[in-house]
Structure formats: structure tokens, C-alpha cells
Amino acid sequence: MSTQELRVGMVGYAFMGAAHSQAWRTVNRVFDLPLRARMVAIAGRDTSKVAAAATRLGWDESVTDWRELIARDDIDLVDVCTPGDSHCEIAVAALRAGKHVLCEKPLANSVEEARTMTATAARARIDGVRAMVGFNYRRVPAVAYLRELVANGRLGAIRHVRAVYLQDWITDPQFPLVWRLQRDKAGSGALGDIGAHIVDLTQYVTGELITGVSGLTETFIRERPLPAEASGLSASAGNGATPATGPVTVDDAALFIARLSGGGLASYEATRFATGRKNGLRVEVNGSLGSAVFDLERLNELEFYDATVPGPQQGFSRILVTEGDHPYLSAWWPPGHIIGYEHSFTHQIRDLIEAVAVGADPSPSFEEALQVQLVLDAVERSAGAGSGWVPVAAPTV
Ligand code: SOE
């Protein structure tokens, strides 16, 4: 690897590819970093579409087979932004070739694949190769600040965690059967796509792990029109659908309760059927000394309740997480100038570059994401067995 540059190849150029590209383009303009990211090449199967994506997203070149990225010696890091069914193959090949890897969440479509990836990352680490998973919401400043509050004991012992991730983009039964609704491509539905985020986020902010679950899943619309062409969120009802239909093979919604390693109780809800909720991620933490609430729709804020102040002064206060002494924010705008969704990806890349430059392991690691995968798997097994209690195993490979 060149001492000056981190030469990046990306696989995939849809929604997440665009979000990651934006971050790679921006990161060195905002943060002072030991390595400069160079966007060498992007891979996708369709020649003209991937070439257009390269131009639009700022990549020097495009290629039509991701294996070309792995084979090249002018690429140091592979960023995997494809559907889950190819994460394992691409990430394992890249790590074995000595490339650092950033892989989108959820890590894999099964626990078995996640174990293979984690074992491969552990072997690659011996040679200084780094692997990280894209749970980008950890990098929202208000989330990172909430973690600091918990770690500094401001909330006391954690009694309750209440987390929801609510979307509504497939409520119309005519919305086509896109890849995210097919188990062989996506692994699971709302559970893995957005439930994985709140599992990771709540464990990250509390520093505690889920030890067992009882879950419910449901598929409300079991048959949908086949899409005219493969797409993710972009296809819409009456636009891109064909008259033929096919079965939905993933959950539309997943709910579960959980126990936390510190003794607290938690509840989770992930759905694509919460009409009116577009990207509604909300986490509330209640501790013995206070509570805090993060809401992605108000991502520059944190609600905080301090139970240690005298009674008449108590009440939820709104902390504006927009100041230079909040995580990540000194590099951006003057105090009070807010940021948005895309910044979480830029912060994620910043942390990855810092780790690679100093030879440290970035977080979340593949092992951490394997543990999330084990939680998702436990929820599915519980739901499939009448919601009985399922312990979550330790993330061994
Ligand atoms: C689709 O539900 C999706 O794009 C997720 O895949 C992302 O991880 C989330 O950030 C937004 O919603």
C-alpha cells in the first residue's frame, strides 16, 4: 500500500454504493487524515450502467467483474455494497488477497456465512489486513454522544431499551418483488435490513449484549408483481412491475423482546408496513439515574432526562448535538449548524481510514456483526417455533 493513499475499489452502485461514494469523495475534504482515499474503480455487471455510475459517483474507472478489483495490485481496500447474497464470496476473496474490506450490513445472509467471513478476517488480521462492517448509524454524532453518556455512568444501570425502526415503502401490495423481498438474495426482510441496525445500535450505545430473545415475524403480502428489472428501493408500484407475480420469501415485519447482559429488558420492532413512517429509527434507554432518546428524524438532537437533579428541576431536556466538542462535529460547520444522513457514512470512512493508517482494528468488526447475525437468527428461530425463548450464542467461529 502506498504511504500516501488508500486506493479503493467498490462493488455495487445502487443506494448504498452512492452513499459510500459520497463519503469517499468527501472524507479528505473535511477531515485531516493520515491517508488520502483514491476512488480507483467501481464494479458492476452491466457495462454501460456501471460506466455511467463511475462518472456520476466519481470513480476513475469501471469494471464488469468484481474479481478484477481483487486481482489488481493498485487497490488496497474493497468496499462491498452489493445485496447480501454476494457479501461472503466477495469479502472472503478480498481479504485472502490482502485487501482491507468495508462490508455493508447485515454482514451475511446466514450465520454460517458470517462465521466464514469472521474466521477469514481473523486470519487476515495477522497480516495487518482490516475488516469493518457498515453499521453507519453508530457514526451519527448524537448516537456516539449517547454512548458516551452511558459509558460515563450518566444513565446509571440500564433497565430498559426500546428500539423501533419503521418504514412503509412496501405497504402497497402492487409494489414489485424487488431483491430485498427475496430470501435467497437478502437473507431476511425487515429483520435483517433494518432490525440489524437497531440491534447493533442498542448494543453499541449500552455496551451490553442481547443474551436471549422471543420473536414474532409476519409477511403480510405473500405474492407480488415481478419487477421489470432487478432493483432495490427504487422500483415503485405501477412503475417497473410486470403482470406476472412471485412469492415474497422474507418477513415484512419482525418484533422481539430481549434480555441484556447487564440485566435490563429490551424490545425491538422492525417493519416496512408502518404507514407514514419513512425512515423512523428511534431508541430510548431508561437507566437508574436517567433516560435518553435518539430519533433519526431529529438526528441533531438527543433527549436527556437526569433523575439526579432536584425534583422540581427534573424533565426531559433537548441537547443540540451540533457543537465542536460533540463527536465528529469540529471538522464540519460552526456551532449549531446541523448535519444529515450522509454524514454518518463520511464519519464511518473517516474512522476506517484512521484505523487502517495506524494498524488498528476498526469497529464494528466482522465478529461484532456475526454476533448481530446470531441475534437475528435467534429471532427467526423463536418466531418459527411459536415465539419460545431462544438464547443467543457467543460469536465463536
Ligand atoms: C432500506 O430499508 C434501507 O436502505 C436500509 O437498507 C439501510 O441500511 C437504511 O439505512 C435505510 O433503509
Residue whose CB lies within 8 A of the most ligand 1 atoms, among 15, 133, 180, 181, for a mutation test: 15
φ, ψ at 33 (rounded to 5°): -125, 155
- Res 212: pLDDT: 98
Average pLDDT on 126-138 reads 98
Average pLDDT on 73-96 reads 98
pTM above 0.90, yes or no: yes
- Res 236: pLDDT: 57
3-state secondary structure of 73: coil
Answer yes or no: is pLDDT of 2 > 70: no
Band of pLDDT at residue 148, cut at 50, 70 and 90: very high
Distance in Å, CA 71 to ligand 1 centroid: 30
Q: How far is CA 45 from the centre of its chain?
A: 24
Grid coordinates belonging to 245: 407475480
Distance in Å, CA 123 to ligand 1 centroid: 30
- Res 242: pLDDT: 80
- Res 230: pLDDT: 55
Ligand 1 contact via 169 beta carbon (within 6 Å): no
Band of pLDDT at residue 353, cut at 50, 70 and 90: very high
Residue whose CB lies within 8 A of the most ligand 1 atoms, among 193, 277, 279, 343, for a mutation test: 193
Band of pLDDT at residue 168, cut at 50, 70 and 90: very high
Grid coordinates belonging to 151: 459509558
Ligand 1 contact via 233 beta carbon (within 6 Å): yes
Share of the chain above pLDDT 90, in %: 95
Instruction: State which ligand 1 atom lies nearest to the alpha carbon of 105.
Output: 8
Share of the chain above pLDDT 70, in %: 96
Grid coordinates belonging to 231: 432493483
- Res 231: pLDDT: 59
Average pLDDT, the chain: 96
- Res 1: pLDDT: 46
Answer yes or no: is pLDDT of 56 > 70: yes
Rg, Å, the chain Cα set: 21
Query: How many angstroms separate the CA atoms of 144 and 138, rounded?
Result: 6
Answer yes or no: is pLDDT of 154 > 80: yes
pLDDT in tens, 264-276: 999 999 999 999 9
Ligand 1 contact via 273 beta carbon (within 6 Å): no
Distance in Å, CA 265 to ligand 1 centroid: 26
Instruction: State which ligand 1 atom lies nearest to the alpha carbon of 190.
Output: 2
- What ipTM was assigned to the predicted interfaces of this complex? 0.96
3-state secondary structure of 4: coil
